[in-house]
Structure 1
């Protein structure tokens, strides 16, 4: 840690002059602290350093290379968290701003910034943050040992160090095992040294992660905001959740998000929708939503985009269709795109209302792309938003429950197109990576106002840092329907999740191509989907993505895993609560909890919550699947076979088995026989616990609310049910509840299932009284039924 020669008491507003005490070569001329922001006046670039959260700083240039005031765009990445009270210190050689356990130290001679956590240097500027009229760049130093996540959706391996990648969201149709540029890039890096750097700039640019210079991390952009954010943490997991605290936590999603979606490209008529739903019902496969692709507004793929209204020949009574689905507790989700074709029925309206991106002369900017000649909605301008929103509002009144925003990179976005944002004319090149983010913000914010008692569902494939705070549910785009397409899906989801985009998922089964149906590929992808944020098979309709249109054993295996997903609803929904409360991902890298040296680069396995380790089968015709397990004791989720970690396990494979392990000491609440998520009854739960002598203490929290209120987290309208286990000479389980919500049941029926017991217990006590129980000798499991008040504490002793 650099020496501290003096400590200054700093009131809310103070200026510290350095003209007198600094030698003539000093470059920092004065610093001014106001509230949580330090203004640094130098003889080159002036800049500000703001404490934006505990252990987090935002650095923003105030002047350019010519000393002129730099016209910064508003931040898209940062969420306003209020004011903080950092501590300012100064010596003859440096200025330091501290918050939490972290400090940013400014060298007075070079005005280079270094970042410390608990006295330990984590990262420092190399050439720093610079800006001109044409370019913004940021240069930081890398040491030779650190590994890096970052860049968002790419297929490059988990450690992205040594790569250079474009910062420009762009579709990659039919990708497989390699992709350097995809739908949802992130101008962000997270290091194994427990810091993250967020380049708060939406312009077209580049991210060089030690490729050109092995010891340099470099961001660059073609203009735009000159600002970056550094987040420091105690661990990799702490750094991830602290990063999400800075960019904004995801609002609690609707519970139905964890159901099964019927989706394809696409349902062509009202009758086809009814037939698909009838097939799911008749074949006993749970279903919660139907997703309508572009045929809802036109009979052909080309020529109709921008109609933003029902094709009444194919969908003669959409209100009746939506109402019928709603009566079956099935939600309707519609696709929309931001392109308004010149052949569409809304073209003249869009032009008349100044809703489109423009040319320099103010006329609509038109161009050709796959779907026809088109303009692009200006989602940044007030006029564009008002015009676009009117169609969402009409559809919402008809009962549409979910919104799918497609092509939002935008798929085609001329660099010289003009958007009007905050009364400024800004070209498409500068705003490109923020387009999907702004679109999601428009949809989410207006829905919250229009439907204040509803949680919006916003499915989109492109955005920016912080897009999660607008409820965005991203997917990984038009992946190849092949084993090569399946292989990178864990990597893609994990790279997004650590930066807050925790609901990133894939088109299950694959979307693009595929000349013939591959039953094994389809089965393995859907098995993976059961342990993914969203279960949504989706594909071009030459091969049906829905399991109801396939034969056994494919259909029966798919049914089994879909029902398992529904049974896991209370566990999965608690993961959503953890995400909304703390920013914790649902899918988690093993490096979060185990040795980074061993697990940082691993994308074969991941944790689904704290309890489950999932390893995706990504090769065909395998009789077994080699999986390295972390240290500790693990149980096969399906057979309860016990494994010692720290070894490679050969998991025996059959069509209906899948490599999933439960960490010893884990609790898992489950609910049986659900056909819809609406059927969930929190008053009746089965709670599994995997006991092992190696785990002396374990705990788990189950979160519950009404499943629909958008303010459950904000106002604390939920219950937190805590399960703990103490394993010494005997096993003791404790259940405690806190909190309440409207409609909460008064009593609860619990079935406790304890796995991992070697022999039949001699006695079980519940709150001191002897209790009956059931013992399964073959499975070595104990089952115990308990009826109690909803918030009654329960103690179980197993002897």
Structure 2
């Protein structure tokens, strides 16, 4: 929608641009422009370019030249762009195209575009678009002190400025502390200047982030769509929200996705799987899912991929097995791959149904790789997609709970492979993306009341909208494999993939069990999105098969993971609404501190936890940078502040700090997420004079209902605290239409940390509640308060229904 706007800021922008900020290296001139609704179309001397507003702070810029083949957008979530209030101003030398929070200033001759947030310059085209017979792309100018995050999975450090990044999804088996190219590349960067630049091109290419020339960002690809997207934001969370508004929000997964998984490469029989599940119960470990690797469809690693059906010799009753597990609250996840071996049972069927990508003669393309001679499902073909989906649907009807899509880079993808929409190198980086879309769209259409679980190794910007849950691939089972996991997760999370996680314990290699490494990795896993130990099976990946000390330590951490479900599920909800990742870099808490952008040894888990994994052996103290404010040690309430602190650890702890003023909600121990209930809800509140006001909430639904929030089938339990000279006032408020199984009354245990003096009065609403002098009296009562002087904690418990409630604790 075009509207008139005041010219004051426009004039300021004209002044900035007139100061000579453009230095185009290639002569390209403006000829004319037209408006098609909100879309600004420009005819240039050598191309056409359209500027399409995607929201108030995002714009797609699509250059097209005759003879340069285009592909559809894979990154943009919807073909129906937002109704944006825009304003176009023309001067003799420029066009100023203004959205709500982003402005494109277009210099007519030589042609170039610069982008502003308000009057603040963000990024500008250098020579902009280029295309030759063999390469196409874009060139932009970088500011001197600008830092760049992005490019997807790499082990290069957080700031990728000065790097030249290959854009080709490729497996890196057994990586440790360095990797320039991995499973999941992303042709996008997030700048310290608070913009995202995304190249909507699926072809093989590179991003040169100041490697060839310090002040130049160059994207180049051998083919593909010649379009880019600029997104702006006033803050990093707002920038992410604007970005996922364009590329799509991750749907809320089923609650069981946040539970503990049993997984290895791999379980070789139904008997072994059942025994493993039983072992978790015997050892008192919570469990929500069991993941079956490739032995479910064949007895050997090689020769059977593509069967996509149970090996009934080793899994004689899989339907009953999965039903038995489901009765215990445990879901079954199956690995599938897009390769159909010529030795598999489905080869002839795949050929007959035109499922496979072609060679240059139009025949099914065959090639060799590790698992055998194979063809590749053409997921870009509707005909192939229907066949592939029918296989999945049959398995869903048998009782499968979720999918693990492996080797989806694709791991081997010959350049002369012909797909429905283009050659292999044109669409390679969108293969996993399209596979996930196939599964998500088909499943949600056929089973609209079922939340999908789709774990995959490779994709493209926007794959998160199909529920894709990525992991960081075949990491080495050594300390060097653990070290880069925070970097990998943060890099992906900041560009939409909030569920990126690692094979806990490490996957590849390892001559013998390293107890300390294993424990440290599983401790870190409590505070990452998916809890899934997984490894080659010469060393057990499951904690239940290790020594007593290992079991005892990891059991307590896995139980903590379940106790934190109210907190963790709320993070998942926030991600589904705003794109805010579950794991967040420290600079989110101090956006002015650019040094924190480089920091990858600690991170925020949600807003209120700060976690620093232990990534070296024999450590008894960890130095942790802080983003300002006061923090409490989660294990002993010791206070930390300043720019940096030292945290003592033993084998049973890693540095976990809690922000002053935070509410941390927990529940009692449960065996599976199916048993979740907030009927007994504990709130740990971390009091400090600097935390004058604070608020938080817990989001709940039944864990299964699709789009529960928008259907008003949820509850939000909201908590706030306000400190004054008399004490602390707490307010409790519930909103939402409720959900099946929600408690009508909750028993609240409020633990106020850092409370050092006896309370003179505790008032619930308009009445005082008893302050007990002895702990045992407090424990027997259903309501009351008690000061634990040794721990400096005041404990208060009371009942709360659906009505608003207040609690005043006076000094």
Q: Give the TM-score of the pair, scaled to structure 1.
A: 0.95
What SS does the corresponding residue of 2:223 show, helix, strand or coil?
A: coil
**Structure 1 match to 2:596:** 599
Of the three residues 778, 788, 798, the one matched with 1:786 is 798
Of the three residues 570, 573, 581, the one matched with 1:574 is 570
What is the distance in 2 between the residues matched to 1:647 and 1:331? 43
Alignment of 1:120-199 (within 5 A): 120-199=120-199
> How far has the Cα of 1:714 moved from its partner?
3.4
**Structure 2 match to 1:765:** 763
What is the distance in 1 between the residues matched to 2:639 and 2:96? 52
What is the distance in 2 between the residues matched to 1:450 and 1:628? 49
Alignment of 1:479-518 (within 5 A): 479-518=475-514
**Structure 1 match to 2:721:** 725
**Structure 2 match to 1:28:** 30
**Structure 1 match to 2:446:** 450
**Structure 2 match to 1:461:** 457
**Structure 2 match to 1:643:** 640
What is the distance in 1 between the residues matched to 2:88 and 2:744? 53
Q: Do residues 686 (structure 1) and 682 (structure 2) align?
A: yes
**Structure 2 match to 1:74:** 72
What is the distance in 1 between the residues matched to 2:517 and 2:664? 28
What is the distance in 2 between the residues matched to 1:699 and 1:792? 15
Of the three residues 610, 613, 618, the one matched with 1:613 is 610
Would the aligned equivalents of 1:738 and 1:791 in 2 still touch at CA under 8 Å?
A: no
**Structure 1 match to 2:45:** 43
Cα 1:5–1:480 change in 2 (3 A) is: closer
Alignment of 1:356-371 (within 5 A): 356-371=356-371
> How far has the Cα of 1:100 moved from its partner?
1.5
Would the aligned equivalents of 2:587 and 2:627 in 1 still touch at CA under 8 Å?
A: no
> How far has the Cα of 1:683 moved from its partner?
2.7
Alignment of 1:197-346 (within 5 A): 197-346=197-346
What is the distance in 2 between the residues matched to 1:287 and 1:727? 41
Q: Deviations over 1:362-402 (max 9, x none)?
A: 10000000000000000010111011111100100001001
> How far has the Cα of 1:2 moved from its partner?
10
> How far has the Cα of 1:629 moved from its partner?
2.0
What is the distance in 1 between the residues matched to 2:673 and 2:786? 29
Alignment of 1:368-387 (within 5 A): 368-387=368-387
What is the distance in 1 between the residues matched to 2:133 and 2:35? 28
Alignment of 1:51-70 (within 5 A): 51-62=53-64, 64=65, 68=66, 70=68
What SS does the corresponding residue of 2:77 show, helix, strand or coil?
A: coil
**Structure 1 match to 2:655:** 659
Greater mean alpha carbon deviation, residues 84-93 or residues 311-320: 84-93
What SS does the corresponding residue of 2:658 show, helix, strand or coil?
A: strand
Would the aligned equivalents of 1:496 and 1:504 in 2 still touch at CA under 8 Å?
A: yes
Greater mean alpha carbon deviation, residues 295-304 or residues 104-113: 104-113
Cα 1:750–1:34 change in 2 (3 A) is: same
Alignment of 1:9-24 (within 5 A): none
Of the three residues 630, 633, 653, the one matched with 1:633 is 630
Cα 1:522–1:6 change in 2 (3 A) is: closer
Would the aligned equivalents of 1:359 and 1:365 in 2 still touch at CA under 8 Å?
A: yes
**Structure 2 match to 1:528:** 524
What is the distance in 2 between the residues matched to 1:69 and 1:371? 40
Q: Give the TM-score of the pair, scaled to structure 2.
A: 0.94
Q: Deviations over 1:505-530 (max 9, x none)?
A: 00000000000110000000000000
> How far has the Cα of 1:43 moved from its partner?
1.4
Cα 1:58–1:796 change in 2 (3 A) is: same
> How far has the Cα of 1:271 moved from its partner?
0.5
What is the distance in 1 between the residues matched to 2:326 and 2:307? 25
Would the aligned equivalents of 2:719 and 2:733 in 1 still touch at CA under 8 Å?
A: yes
Would the aligned equivalents of 2:263 and 2:291 in 1 still touch at CA under 8 Å?
A: yes
What SS does the corresponding residue of 1:613 show, helix, strand or coil?
A: strand
> How far has the Cα of 1:6 moved from its partner?
12
Cα 1:512–1:155 change in 2 (3 A) is: same
Greater mean alpha carbon deviation, residues 387-396 or residues 750-759: 750-759
Would the aligned equivalents of 1:132 and 1:223 in 2 still touch at CA under 8 Å?
A: no
Cα 1:412–1:784 change in 2 (3 A) is: same
What is the distance in 2 between the residues matched to 1:335 and 1:4? 55
What is the distance in 2 between the residues matched to 1:499 and 1:257? 21
Residue correspondences, number: 774
What is the distance in 1 between the residues matched to 2:8 and 2:626? 42
Q: Deviations over 1:436-471 (max 9, x none)?
A: 000000011111122211100000010000000000
Q: Do residues 738 (structure 1) and 735 (structure 2) align?
A: yes
Would the aligned equivalents of 1:380 and 1:420 in 2 still touch at CA under 8 Å?
A: yes
> How far has the Cα of 1:3 moved from its partner?
7.9
**Structure 2 match to 1:18:** none
Cα 1:5–1:119 change in 2 (3 A) is: closer
Q: Deviations over 1:493-547 (max 9, x none)?
A: 0000000000000000000000011000000000000000000000000000000
What is the distance in 1 between the residues matched to 2:499 and 2:152? 13
**Structure 2 match to 1:546:** 542
> How far has the Cα of 1:102 moved from its partner?
1.4
RMSD over aligned Cα, in angstroms?
A: 1.7
**Structure 2 match to 1:560:** 556
What SS does the corresponding residue of 2:134 show, helix, strand or coil?
A: coil
What is the distance in 2 between the residues matched to 1:431 and 1:256? 33
**Structure 1 match to 2:694:** 698
> How far has the Cα of 1:269 moved from its partner?
0.4
What is the distance in 2 between the residues matched to 1:416 and 1:217? 30
Would the aligned equivalents of 1:760 and 1:775 in 2 still touch at CA under 8 Å?
A: yes
**Structure 1 match to 2:17:** none
Would the aligned equivalents of 1:475 and 1:506 in 2 still touch at CA under 8 Å?
A: yes
Would the aligned equivalents of 1:6 and 1:89 in 2 still touch at CA under 8 Å?
A: no
Cα 1:756–1:741 change in 2 (3 A) is: same
What is the distance in 2 between the residues matched to 1:765 and 1:118? 49
Task: Give 5+ residue unaligned stretches, structure 2.
Answer: 1-6, 14-26, 770-783
Would the aligned equivalents of 1:580 and 1:713 in 2 still touch at CA under 8 Å?
A: no
Task: Give 5+ residue unaligned stretches, structure 1.
Answer: 8-24
> How far has the Cα of 1:133 moved from its partner?
4.8
